[in-house]
Protein backbone atom coordinates (compact mmCIF):
# COMPACT_ATOMS: atom_id res chain seq x y z
CA UNK A 1 0.00 0.00 0.00
CA UNK A 2 1.31 3.50 -0.78
CA UNK A 3 2.24 5.81 2.07
CA UNK A 4 0.54 9.17 1.74
CA UNK A 5 1.64 12.53 3.05
CA UNK A 6 -0.51 15.08 4.86
CA UNK A 7 0.02 17.73 2.17
CA UNK A 8 -3.67 18.71 1.99
CA UNK A 9 -4.17 19.11 5.74
CA UNK A 10 -6.64 21.94 6.45
CA UNK A 11 -7.55 22.19 2.75
CA UNK A 12 -11.20 22.09 1.65
CA UNK A 13 -11.92 20.52 -1.72
CA UNK A 14 -14.99 20.04 -3.88
CA UNK A 15 -14.97 17.11 -6.31
CA UNK A 16 -17.80 16.97 -8.85
CA UNK A 17 -18.71 13.50 -10.01
CA UNK A 18 -16.90 12.63 -6.80
CA UNK A 19 -18.37 9.27 -5.81
CA UNK A 20 -17.58 7.00 -8.75
CA UNK A 21 -14.72 6.26 -11.12
CA UNK A 22 -11.98 8.90 -11.29
CA UNK A 23 -13.94 11.18 -8.98
CA UNK A 24 -14.20 8.55 -6.25
CA UNK A 25 -10.49 7.77 -6.50
CA UNK A 26 -9.73 11.51 -6.24
CA UNK A 27 -12.00 11.95 -3.23
CA UNK A 28 -10.37 8.99 -1.49
CA UNK A 29 -6.84 10.21 -2.23
CA UNK A 30 -7.61 13.73 -1.00
CA UNK A 31 -9.06 12.28 2.21
CA UNK A 32 -5.97 10.08 2.63
CA UNK A 33 -3.78 13.18 2.36
CA UNK A 34 -5.65 15.18 4.97
CA UNK A 35 -8.23 17.22 3.05
CA UNK A 36 -11.84 17.84 3.90
CA UNK A 37 -13.76 16.82 0.80
CA UNK A 38 -17.25 17.59 -0.43
CA UNK A 39 -18.02 15.03 -3.12
CA UNK A 40 -21.02 15.91 -5.26
CA UNK A 41 -22.89 13.77 -7.74
CA UNK A 42 -26.20 13.64 -9.58
CA UNK A 43 -26.94 10.06 -8.43
CA UNK A 44 -28.26 9.81 -4.89
CA UNK A 45 -27.89 6.03 -5.05
CA UNK A 46 -24.18 6.37 -5.83
CA UNK A 47 -23.79 8.97 -3.07
CA UNK A 48 -25.41 6.69 -0.48
CA UNK A 49 -23.27 3.72 -1.53
CA UNK A 50 -20.06 5.77 -1.38
CA UNK A 51 -20.81 7.14 2.08
CA UNK A 52 -21.62 3.63 3.32
CA UNK A 53 -18.24 2.42 2.02
CA UNK A 54 -16.37 5.16 3.91
CA UNK A 55 -17.63 5.09 7.50
CA UNK A 56 -14.36 6.17 9.15
CA UNK A 57 -13.84 9.59 7.58
CA UNK A 58 -15.54 11.52 10.36
CA UNK A 59 -16.54 15.04 9.39
CA UNK A 60 -13.90 15.28 6.64
CA UNK A 61 -16.21 13.70 4.05
CA UNK A 62 -19.47 15.24 2.95
CA UNK A 63 -21.41 13.87 -0.02
CA UNK A 64 -24.08 16.03 -1.62
CA UNK A 65 -26.49 15.79 -4.52
CA UNK A 66 -25.83 18.25 -7.36
CA UNK A 67 -26.70 18.49 -11.04
CA UNK A 68 -23.76 20.49 -12.40
CA UNK A 69 -25.84 21.59 -15.40
CA UNK A 70 -27.94 23.69 -13.01
CA UNK A 71 -26.01 26.95 -12.70
CA UNK A 72 -28.03 28.37 -9.81
CA UNK A 73 -27.92 25.16 -7.78
CA UNK A 74 -24.18 24.89 -8.34
CA UNK A 75 -23.52 28.42 -7.10
CA UNK A 76 -25.82 27.95 -4.13
CA UNK A 77 -24.11 24.72 -3.06
CA UNK A 78 -20.59 26.11 -3.44
CA UNK A 79 -21.51 29.19 -1.39
CA UNK A 80 -23.11 26.97 1.25
CA UNK A 81 -20.00 24.80 1.49
CA UNK A 82 -17.77 27.85 1.93
CA UNK A 83 -20.07 29.30 4.58
CA UNK A 84 -19.90 26.00 6.48
CA UNK A 85 -16.15 25.36 6.19
CA UNK A 86 -14.89 28.93 6.03
CA UNK A 87 -12.90 28.60 2.82
CA UNK A 88 -12.45 26.64 -0.41
CA UNK A 89 -9.00 25.68 -1.65
CA UNK A 90 -9.48 23.12 -4.43
CA UNK A 91 -12.09 22.44 -7.09
CA UNK A 92 -11.85 19.25 -9.09
CA UNK A 93 -14.37 19.67 -11.92
CA UNK A 94 -14.68 16.03 -12.88
CA UNK A 95 -18.37 15.31 -13.56
CA UNK A 96 -18.92 14.00 -17.08
CA UNK A 97 -20.84 11.60 -19.28
CA UNK A 98 -20.26 9.79 -22.56
CA UNK A 99 -22.53 10.57 -25.51
CA UNK A 100 -22.19 8.53 -28.68
CA UNK A 101 -23.10 9.40 -32.25
CA UNK A 102 -21.52 11.08 -35.25
CA UNK A 103 -22.56 14.50 -36.53
CA UNK A 104 -25.18 13.02 -38.86
CA UNK A 105 -26.75 10.75 -36.24
CA UNK A 106 -26.62 12.93 -33.14
CA UNK A 107 -29.95 14.34 -31.97
CA UNK A 108 -30.33 17.87 -30.65
CA UNK A 109 -31.11 16.45 -27.20
CA UNK A 110 -28.01 14.24 -27.09
CA UNK A 111 -25.79 17.07 -28.34
CA UNK A 112 -27.11 19.44 -25.67
CA UNK A 113 -26.86 16.80 -22.94
CA UNK A 114 -23.23 16.11 -23.76
CA UNK A 115 -22.25 19.77 -23.91
CA UNK A 116 -24.32 20.60 -20.81
CA UNK A 117 -22.65 18.05 -18.53
CA UNK A 118 -19.15 17.86 -20.00
CA UNK A 119 -18.56 21.56 -20.73
CA UNK A 120 -21.26 23.73 -19.14
CA UNK A 121 -20.88 21.87 -15.84
CA UNK A 122 -17.15 22.57 -15.75
CA UNK A 123 -17.79 26.25 -16.46
CA UNK A 124 -20.60 26.60 -13.90
CA UNK A 125 -18.64 24.93 -11.10
CA UNK A 126 -15.51 26.93 -11.92
CA UNK A 127 -17.40 30.21 -12.05
CA UNK A 128 -19.09 29.48 -8.72
CA UNK A 129 -15.80 28.54 -7.06
CA UNK A 130 -13.63 31.36 -8.39
CA UNK A 131 -14.52 34.13 -5.91
CA UNK A 132 -13.64 31.79 -3.04
CA UNK A 133 -10.49 30.45 -4.73
CA UNK A 134 -9.29 34.01 -5.34
CA UNK A 135 -9.67 34.58 -1.61
CA UNK A 136 -7.72 31.42 -0.69
CA UNK A 137 -5.25 31.55 -3.63
CA UNK A 138 -6.59 28.14 -4.54
CA UNK A 139 -6.61 25.94 -7.59
CA UNK A 140 -8.88 24.25 -10.13
CA UNK A 141 -8.24 20.93 -11.84
CA UNK A 142 -10.62 20.11 -14.68
CA UNK A 143 -11.07 16.61 -16.07
CA UNK A 144 -10.67 16.87 -19.82
CA UNK A 145 -9.76 13.87 -21.99
CA UNK A 146 -7.44 12.86 -24.79
CA UNK A 147 -10.72 12.95 -26.73
CA UNK A 148 -10.42 16.73 -26.45
CA UNK A 149 -7.02 16.56 -28.15
CA UNK A 150 -8.11 14.54 -31.18
CA UNK A 151 -11.17 12.98 -32.77
CA UNK A 152 -12.82 9.63 -32.07
CA UNK A 153 -15.29 7.61 -34.08
CA UNK A 154 -18.92 8.50 -33.26
CA UNK A 155 -18.14 10.76 -30.27
CA UNK A 156 -18.90 14.18 -31.75
CA UNK A 157 -20.43 15.81 -28.67
CA UNK A 158 -17.83 14.36 -26.31
CA UNK A 159 -14.93 15.44 -28.54
CA UNK A 160 -16.36 18.95 -28.82
CA UNK A 161 -17.04 19.29 -25.10
CA UNK A 162 -13.66 17.99 -23.96
CA UNK A 163 -11.88 20.19 -26.50
CA UNK A 164 -13.81 23.06 -24.98
CA UNK A 165 -12.69 22.08 -21.48
CA UNK A 166 -9.05 22.22 -22.57
CA UNK A 167 -9.31 25.74 -23.94
CA UNK A 168 -11.57 26.85 -21.08
CA UNK A 169 -8.76 25.72 -18.78
CA UNK A 170 -6.24 27.86 -20.66
CA UNK A 171 -8.58 30.86 -20.67
CA UNK A 172 -9.25 30.68 -16.94
CA UNK A 173 -5.53 30.27 -16.21
CA UNK A 174 -4.79 33.44 -18.18
CA UNK A 175 -7.59 35.45 -16.59
CA UNK A 176 -7.02 34.47 -12.97
CA UNK A 177 -3.32 33.74 -12.64
CA UNK A 178 -2.50 37.26 -11.47
CA UNK A 179 -5.21 36.89 -8.84
CA UNK A 180 -3.48 33.83 -7.41
CA UNK A 181 -5.54 31.01 -8.91
CA UNK A 182 -3.94 28.17 -10.87
CA UNK A 183 -6.14 26.31 -13.38
CA UNK A 184 -5.05 23.05 -14.99
CA UNK A 185 -6.59 19.93 -16.50
CA UNK A 186 -5.87 16.24 -16.80
CA UNK A 187 -6.58 14.44 -20.06
CA UNK A 188 -7.09 10.75 -19.28
CA UNK A 189 -6.97 8.08 -21.92
CA UNK A 190 -9.06 4.95 -21.37
CA UNK A 191 -9.60 4.27 -17.66
CA UNK A 192 -11.13 1.24 -15.97
CA UNK A 193 -14.25 2.98 -14.67
CA UNK A 194 -17.89 1.83 -14.48
CA UNK A 195 -18.48 3.79 -17.71
CA UNK A 196 -15.80 1.85 -19.60
CA UNK A 197 -16.14 -1.62 -18.04
CA UNK A 198 -18.86 -2.81 -20.47
CA UNK A 199 -16.64 -1.79 -23.41
CA UNK A 200 -13.60 -3.52 -21.91
CA UNK A 201 -15.63 -6.73 -21.80
CA UNK A 202 -15.49 -6.70 -25.61
CA UNK A 203 -12.12 -8.41 -26.04
CA UNK A 204 -11.52 -7.12 -29.57
CA UNK A 205 -11.91 -3.49 -28.46
CA UNK A 206 -9.87 -4.08 -25.32
CA UNK A 207 -7.09 -5.56 -27.48
CA UNK A 208 -7.00 -2.41 -29.62
CA UNK A 209 -6.18 -0.36 -26.53
CA UNK A 210 -3.65 -2.90 -25.27
CA UNK A 211 -1.91 -2.89 -28.65
CA UNK A 212 -2.02 0.89 -29.21
CA UNK A 213 -1.10 2.12 -25.73
CA UNK A 214 2.70 2.01 -25.32
CA UNK A 215 2.34 0.90 -21.68
CA UNK A 216 0.12 -1.94 -22.87
CA UNK A 217 -2.96 -1.44 -20.69
CA UNK A 218 -5.72 0.95 -19.70
CA UNK A 219 -5.35 3.14 -16.62
CA UNK A 220 -6.76 2.59 -13.16
CA UNK A 221 -8.77 5.47 -11.63
CA UNK A 222 -6.17 5.87 -8.89
CA UNK A 223 -3.53 6.73 -11.51
CA UNK A 224 -5.60 9.64 -12.78
CA UNK A 225 -6.29 10.75 -9.22
CA UNK A 226 -2.55 10.87 -8.53
CA UNK A 227 -2.08 13.28 -11.44
CA UNK A 228 -4.99 15.41 -10.28
CA UNK A 229 -3.51 15.68 -6.80
CA UNK A 230 -0.13 16.66 -8.22
CA UNK A 231 -1.73 19.54 -10.14
CA UNK A 232 -3.72 20.57 -7.06
CA UNK A 233 -0.67 20.50 -4.78
CA UNK A 234 2.08 22.97 -4.00
CA UNK A 235 4.42 20.70 -5.99
CA UNK A 236 2.78 22.28 -9.06
CA UNK A 237 3.00 25.84 -7.72
CA UNK A 238 4.28 27.23 -11.05
CA UNK A 239 2.11 25.05 -13.28
CA UNK A 240 -0.99 26.70 -14.77
CA UNK A 241 -2.88 26.46 -18.03
CA UNK A 242 -1.57 22.95 -18.63
CA UNK A 243 -3.52 19.95 -19.86
CA UNK A 244 -1.64 16.86 -18.71
CA UNK A 245 -2.26 13.68 -20.75
CA UNK A 246 -2.45 10.63 -18.48
CA UNK A 247 -2.79 8.02 -21.17
CA UNK A 248 0.07 5.53 -21.01
CA UNK A 249 1.68 7.22 -24.01
CA UNK A 250 -1.31 6.78 -26.33
CA UNK A 251 -1.23 10.33 -27.71
CA UNK A 252 2.51 10.05 -28.35
CA UNK A 253 1.88 7.45 -31.09
CA UNK A 254 1.25 8.52 -34.70
CA UNK A 255 -0.85 5.43 -35.44
CA UNK A 256 1.58 4.10 -38.02
CA UNK A 257 2.51 0.37 -38.03
CA UNK A 258 5.61 -1.05 -36.37
CA UNK A 259 8.28 -0.98 -39.10
CA UNK A 260 11.10 -2.45 -36.99
Give the phi and the psi of residue 244 in degrees, each rounded to 5: -95, 110
Q: Which of 101, 187, 173 is nearest to 143 (CA)?
A: 187
CA distance 188 to 245: 6
> Out of 4, 124, 158, 230, which one is annotated catalytic?
158
158 is catalytic: yes
Q: Which of 70, 178, 181, 174 is nearest to 125 (CA)?
A: 70
Do 76 and 53 touch, CB atoms closer than 8 A?
no
CA distances from 190 to 109, 153, 206, 245 (A): 26, 14, 10, 11
The catalytic residue positions are 158
Amino acid sequence: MPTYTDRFHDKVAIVTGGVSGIGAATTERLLAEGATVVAVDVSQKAIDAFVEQHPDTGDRLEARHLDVTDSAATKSLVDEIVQKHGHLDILVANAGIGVFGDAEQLSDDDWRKGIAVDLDGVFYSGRAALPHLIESKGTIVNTASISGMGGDYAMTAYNAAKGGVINLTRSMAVDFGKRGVRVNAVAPGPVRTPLLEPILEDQSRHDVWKNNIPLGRVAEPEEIAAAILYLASDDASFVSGVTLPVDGGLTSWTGQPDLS
